Chain A
Amino acid sequence: MSAVIDVRDLRTHIVTRWGTIKAVDGVSFALGEGETLGLVGESGSGKSMTCLSVVRLVPRPAARVVGGEVLLDGEDLMRKSDAEMQQIRGRKVAMILQDPMSSLNPVFSVGMQLREPLTMYHGLRGSAAAARAVELLAAVRIPSPAARLRAFPHQLSGGMRQRVVGAMAIAGPPRLLIADEPTTSLDLTIQAQYLGLLKELQQRHRFAMIFVTHNLGIVARTCDRVAVMYAGRIVETGPVRRLFTEPAHPYTRALLESIPRFGVRRARLTAIAGQPPDLATLGTGCAFAPRCPAAFDRCVEAPPETDVAPGHAARCWLHGA
């Protein structure tokens, strides 16, 4: 099966007063139809920046994608012109953002914001666009969809708004859906519903999905593969089951250990020692080394990605050549 999205050695740098930050430092992954990749990591690890880099919407002029290829159905997005990229965004690659309270434009109605992509992608207008908009709202299970078209965002709850955003995202329908922590701001009870909805949409439209989160529980439930990011690099990637049962990288292990478990009594919760690294002052070695319980002298050199098992790779000298 050929990959829907194939990212190879993506690099994005941000120039700041304090130096150049390698926000995305050689990220590679591939996804096929209907597959979901969980992108996991702490704040500042580069998850969001990776997603933005894929669609080439990085904050200019400070940030710039400096290298790599992003193949969408075989075509390299990095070689496209601005105009071509604009056609691709939304239609072929859609994105859902984290905060539903601020994702929708407060001064335009839901209907207008939903009709816009329909006009842009499919040339629908008037009643045809409205009808399709109602279908989309129904697909994301919003009650009374026809009436909702006239509503304004402030009249909807957070969960409903996120569904509207979801409806806009599948207007294409896209080949790739990037969901950047879509449930983090939702109530716990609604989270499960929303995840279920995303999965259902994915099965129907067969798009690949990148699911960015810091919540390993969600990863376990919704993702097929996982990529763990640290300091702009993917330090471990593999099938979700393997990562949970046999994590290869010390960071992944530490993340898993820090989740409190039912039934296991402990006096203190395990935390990962130290602070996330200052991306402007990274050295040349393994970025996790300062906090790694298993660090040794080889770690002053940055480890390459090495296969631990078929489809499961990690950047760590513990497994390296």
Chain B
Amino acid sequence: MSSAGHPRSDPASRLPLQSSALPDRAARPEPGQRSRHWPVVSISIIVVFVLVALLAPLLSPADPYEQSLRLRFRPPVWDERGSWANPLGTDRLGRDMLSRILWGSRVSLAAGVVTVLIASAFGAAIGLVAGYYGGRVDATLMRVTDATLAFPVILLALILAVTVGPSFTNVVIAIAVILWARYARVIRGQVLTLMQLDFIAQARIAGAGAWRVITRHLLPNTLNTLVVLVTLQIGYVIIVEASLSFLGAGIPPPTPAWGSMIAEGRDVITIAWWVSFFPGLVILLVVLAFNLLGDWLRDTLDPRLRQL
């Protein structure tokens, strides 16, 4: 919609117009131009998250499964009844909150990464094929994609969870089965644009077959989009997994999972607010970090994806 296609070094064409009055307000450079500096905070949070997930057994002060009726509902360390043995307090069964949170990161990270990898691989493949072949293939695939997109994730996840029983695998499958549609749609859109470009036509004239064109020419050009999508989706998946665990359809207890921890603390929130609070806070921080990183990546790699 902006003046595309006309290479102009003329500054007049690049900046949005607004009426200018003459009063002597100092001109300043266009604000909000993307800063080039790295999103340090986001990346650090994510790095910490990954490290914690990998090294949880080493980092936890206590065994997350160990129960102690004597230590039930101990408040965090800064409360007068708290102690450094349980810096973030204990839960209903006297288990150390800090350790459970640290261990819970394993579930979240694993769920996030695995689900997104599966969904993106499958979704991208569908998108590439649909965009490349066009016509009937495209139309059919897109109908399926749209139907899938419109299906509420949690409903399916609940059904699966109750069907075969709640487990990590089921959570991954349930989410991935719906998530791929998002990738398919976006990648297909990209491919459609790419197909208009000359280098694709040249490749085909040179005799390249479908496989070659897709893998050597189309796929590399969609990697930027994929990276952005993947980053943004990991956060989303973590939240969905937590929601499922919260409803009892996710990772079954006693495995520490942030969602189920929040659920456990729900009834006692008046007397032991920390049981629900800290897991939620951690979810917020991690998802926020992924979203911010994804935004930055998108602005850096491909601003046209602003709609995501």
Contacts and interface: CB of A to CB of B under 8 A. Distances in A.
Contacts of A44: 8-11
Interface of chain B: mostly helix, strand, loop or mixed: loop
Interface in A65-79: 65, 78-79
Given A21-B11, A48-B10, A48-B12, A62 B21 contact: no
B193 interface: no
B21 A59 contact: no
Contacts of B30: 16, 59, 61-62
Contacts of A85: 19
A15 B25 CA distance: 13
Contact of A57 (B17, B22, B31): B17
B20 A60 contact: yes
Contacts of B2: 102
Given A49-B12, A82-B21, A17 B29 contact: yes
B270 interface: no
B125 to A, nearest CB: 34
Interface in A36-66: 43-44, 47-49, 52, 56-65
A98 interface: yes
A16 B186 CA distance: 35
Given A44-B9, A65-B22, A59 B29 contact: no
A56 B9 contact: no
Contacts of A61: 25, 27-28, 30-31
Interface of chain A: mostly helix, strand, loop or mixed: mixed
A206 B57 CA distance: 86
A85 B18 CA distance: 12
B221 interface: no
Given A17-B29, A17-B33, A102-B3, A59 B9 contact: no
Contacts of B31: 61
B10 A59 contact: no
Nearest to A52: B12
**Size bracket, chain A contacts:** 35 or more
Contacts of A82: 19, 21
A23 interface: yes
A31 interface: no
A48 B11 CA distance: 9
Given A61-B28, A64-B27, A102-B3, A23 B12 contact: yes
A276 interface: yes
Chain A CB within 10 A, most for which of B3, B5, B16, B20:
B20
Nearest to A23: B11
A52 B10 contact: no
A63 B6 contact: no
A144 interface: no
Contacts of B12: 23, 48-49, 52, 58-59
Contacts of A102: 1-4
Contact of B20 (A16, A47, A64, A98): A64
B27 A56 contact: no
Contacts of A63: 11, 15, 20, 27
Nearest to A62: B30
A185 B4 CA distance: 12
B13 interface: yes
A99 interface: yes
Contacts of B13: 48
B168 to A, nearest CB: 48
A81 B13 CA distance: 25
Contacts of A79: 22
A58 B28 contact: no
Chain A CB within 10 A, most for which of B14, B16, B27:
B27
Contacts of A65: 20, 22
21 contacts: A16-B30, A44-B8, A48-B10, A49-B11, A52-B17, A59-B12, A59-B15, A59-B30, A60-B17, A60-B19, A60-B20, A61-B27, A61-B28, A62-B28, A63-B15, A64-B20, A64-B27, A79-B22, A82-B21, A98-B3, A102-B2
Interface of B: 1-6, 8-22, 25, 27-31, 33
In order of increasing CB-CB distance, the 7 nearest A-B pairs are: A59-B15, A64-B27, A48-B12, A15-B27, A60-B18, A49-B12, A62-B30
Interface of A: 13-17, 20-21, 23, 43-44, 47-49, 52, 56-65, 78-79, 81-82, 85-86, 98-99, 102, 185, 276, 279
Given A16-B29, A62-B27, A102-B4, 5 more contacts: A48-B13, A64-B25, A65-B22, A79-B22, A85-B19
